[in-house]
Structure 1
Amino acid sequence: MKMSFRWFGEGNDTVTLSQIRQIPGVTDIVWSLHDIPAGEEWPLDRILALRDQAAAHGLGINVVESVNIHEDIKLGLPSRDAYIENYIKTMEKLAQAGVKVICYNFMPVFDWLRTDLHHPSGDGSTALFYEKSRIENVDPFELVRQINANSTLTMPGWEPERLSHLASLFEAYRGVTEEHLWDHLKYFLDKVIPAAETLGIRMAIHPDDPPWPIFGLPRIITGQDNLRRFLALHDSPANGITLCSGSLGANPANDIVGMIHEFADRIPFAHIRNVKVFDNGDFIETSHRTQDGTVDIAGIVRAYHDIGFDGYARPDHGRHIWDEQCRPGYGLYDRALGIMYLWGLWDAAGYRAPSAAKEGHAS
């Protein structure tokens, strides 16, 4: 397992590369060029500059999260071919910089959804929170305004330029079904996976977060059956999964340990985090510790160890602890604690007590 840490870049992150470098076992940052709108080609000079910046701190840039997919591709519009061409050109430049994995998602309009970015957790910390009844009754436009008003840093999936045409996007998706979305995803994969194979890049789709439809928008990457169907759309080692235990774990019916074993050779990237799911469907993000949430983090790490996982992992979201002022879900302290918990589980899974002979004891 190769440990990584998501970083949003200078001026857009409260965490520094020098701080990330001090977390034991972290070899890579997970990054993106967040200011470039979906569908535009990424400049090679900026990719290489970021690579050199990370390298100066002893860190690699092997995983990009995300190269966002333009909505016209998800909608299956005639303009999608031009956006896919730009996507492949970006892939080619990323390969020149040594990138190995591209994480992306196929969620219409919203990359993720929460109703509270700083919900009290009972111990003095706050965390990202999803209130089911509020989602069922809230105006999505009002929720967008609240999300952007409560954060001084750009939120992934909620960038203002992506949301400035929210009303027209909702109108465009009117009548788009899950089957339509499956067809449009296959079209995208059939174009980009051959390019990924040639470039030595593994594409890794992120599950929908949360893993069910919201605001009448279809969602299809939600559980084991759908992941199985997804992988069959284009059967290639370059067509893989970002297995996110938190996104999938919001539905307690999802057997994440089973997914790890079934899809072992198609998981180049793992997000390992915990959530606590309540009986009414609400959930809150917790520490990574197994006992603090609903997700069997210990079992998940053991499963990764059992399959000999040598892909990239990151701790994903964390709580806001010790009065840290940070991007919601992406502070330094709790994610660093999460990494050390994950390493402890990993080391314990492979631990074998030294024999008496090796310790020099006489029989």
Structure 2
Amino acid sequence: MRQTWRWFGPRDLVSIDDMMQAGVEGVVSALHHVPTGAVWTGEEVKKRQAEIGRMKDGNPSGLKWEVVESLPVSEDIKKQKGSWREHIANYKTSLRVLRDAGIEVICYNFMPVLDWTRTDLAWRLPNGATCMRFDLNDFAAFDIHILARPGAVENYPPEVVEDAKRRFEAMDDAARQALARNVVFGLPGAAEHFTLEDVRGHLAEYAAISEERLRSHLIDFLAEVTPVAQDLGLRLCCHPDDPPFSLLGLPRVMSTEADYRKVMAAVDLPANGITLCTGSLGARPDNDLPGMMDRLGDRVHFLHLRNVQRQSGDIMGSFYEAEHLGGGTDMVAMIAAVVREESRRRTAGRSDCSIPFRPDHGQDILDDLGRKAQPGYPAIGRLKGLAELRGIMTALQHPVEGIHP
């Protein structure tokens, strides 16, 4: 398992120096400032590689950009409208640029409109730490009363609708604005930041797109780009929906093992792979994460290891970002499944026998609370998670008690 760390570029308040002191082996990054659908140029990629390759004092860091997260898929591609064919051509060009730069793993997602959704970006825990949280009733208050989406009330149980109304009425204007900002919060540094009107416009265009149609658009996209990636020696890996259930009436197509199986079978090439995120998939109680790793592991090209604590047993329910070993996913069993897959790959002579992973998200603890880094990406909270994951890896692979000699 190769230890990596996400970095949002020079404006990230967690620095290259911080990563080095955390002991990571590689960097996960992206060109967030490049508009979605545009070509990633060799100059921009080399610039980011150079930024990763040096410390604050100018000395070499020894770190390399090893995983792209994400090379984004445009809304036009997802909807098959407007400039979607041009965007696919640009995507292929960007893949070639990344291959020439020596980067082989490219993560992307196919979530409509919003990449991920939370209602609170700094929810206070009893010990004083903060974390991100998705509260279903708060989200319903946003959907029904702030966004005022037609028909929204039909997507929630009656008791949620009633409580959402009470919560909305108790909020002042500042609280309502804060909730709206949290829900539509884009990736830090991204070129696009949605307004409520932007969201309403996208929702109107998705009204005619069913789950089956969105999946067919994903398959059409992969049928175009996966052969290119295969020929270039690249590994594409689709991130699951976050959270893994329908929101705002939008279709979801990468929320379960069955979803992944359909897409892998439709474009059956090794380059068509998975970003297995234990946090996103773990927010749904019927997802068996260690089992998914065992059954789909040969297509897992990238791992996000994090944990969430579900606050109900429903498919669509509230949850918060837990400590890496403290949520609903058995992280020891999960890492054991990863180690088994890596052992199989070594036996088969695969060159990708060390799967890159990153300690995804983390709680803000200690000095994180004053640093105000990107929500979900604190320095110390992620370091704590990485240390815990590193301990499990070391124990499971030890020759005394390990899975393999």
Give the alignment's TM-score, normalised by structure 2. Answer: 0.82
Match of 1:319 in 2: 363
Cα deviations by residue, 1:266-307 (Å, 9 ceiling, x for unpaired): 011000001111126210101112xx2111111111111122
Match of 1:361 in 2: none
Match of 2:14 in 1: 15
Q: CA 1:72–1:155 in 2, change beyond 3 Å: closer, same or farther?
A: closer
Match of 1:6 in 2: 6
Instruction: Answer whether contact 1:37 1:162 (CA < 8 A) is retained.
Output: no
Q: SS of the counterpart of 2:320?
A: strand
Match of 2:109 in 1: 105
Distance in 1 (CA, whole Å) between partners of 2:189 and 2:382 is 21
Match of 1:357 in 2: none
* More displaced stretch, 35-44 vs 51-60: 51-60
Q: Which runs of 5+ in 2 are unaligned?
A: 54-59, 149-174, 343-352
* More displaced stretch, 247-256 vs 40-49: 40-49
Question: Pick from 387, 391, 396: which aligns with 1:340?
Answer: 387
Q: SS of the counterpart of 2:324?
A: coil
Deviation at 1:157, TM superposition (A): 7.9
The one-letter code matched in structure 1 to 2:398 is: Y
- Percent sequence identity is 36
Distance in 1 (CA, whole Å) between partners of 2:7 and 2:388 is 20
Distance in 1 (CA, whole Å) between partners of 2:176 and 2:103 is 32
Q: SS of the counterpart of 2:68?
A: strand
Matched ranges for 1:172-187 at <5 A: 172-187=205-220
The one-letter code matched in structure 2 to 1:104 is: Y
Matched ranges for 1:55-66 at <5 A: 55=53, 56-66=60-70
Distance in 2 (CA, whole Å) between partners of 1:159 and 1:170 is 20
Match of 1:295 in 2: 329
Matched ranges for 1:195-234 at <5 A: 195-234=228-267
Cα deviations by residue, 1:203-238 (Å, 9 ceiling, x for unpaired): 000000000000000011011111111111200110
Q: CA 1:160–1:43 in 2, change beyond 3 Å: closer, same or farther?
A: closer
The one-letter code matched in structure 2 to 1:132 is: L
Distance in 2 (CA, whole Å) between partners of 1:148 and 1:179 is 29
Instruction: Answer whether contact 1:112 1:157 (CA < 8 A) is retained.
Output: no
Match of 2:178 in 1: 146
Q: Which runs of 5+ in 1 are unaligned?
A: 355-363
Distance in 1 (CA, whole Å) between partners of 2:33 and 2:179 is 18
Q: CA 1:253–1:158 in 2, change beyond 3 Å: closer, same or farther?
A: farther
Instruction: Answer whether contact 2:8 2:188 (CA < 8 A) is retained.
Output: no
Distance in 1 (CA, whole Å) between partners of 2:359 and 2:307 is 9
Note if 1:129 corresponds to 2:133. yes
Deviation at 1:161, TM superposition (A): 2.5
Q: CA 1:99–1:328 in 2, change beyond 3 Å: closer, same or farther?
A: same
Cα deviations by residue, 1:306-351 (Å, 9 ceiling, x for unpaired): 2225111000100111142221110110111111111110111122
Note if 1:239 corresponds to 2:286. no
Q: CA 1:250–1:149 in 2, change beyond 3 Å: closer, same or farther?
A: closer
Cα deviations by residue, 1:173-223 (Å, 9 ceiling, x for unpaired): 112100010110011001000110121110000000000000000011011
Q: SS of the counterpart of 1:271?
A: strand
Note if 1:350 corresponds to 2:397. yes
Distance in 2 (CA, whole Å) between partners of 1:14 and 1:332 is 9
Instruction: Answer whether contact 2:34 2:191 (CA < 8 A) is retained.
Output: no
Deviation at 1:265, TM superposition (A): 1.0
In terms of fraction of residues, the more helix-rich structure is 2
Deviation at 1:159, TM superposition (A): 4.4
Note if 1:284 corresponds to 2:299. no
Distance in 2 (CA, whole Å) between partners of 1:214 and 1:29 is 31
Distance in 2 (CA, whole Å) between partners of 1:124 and 1:315 is 21
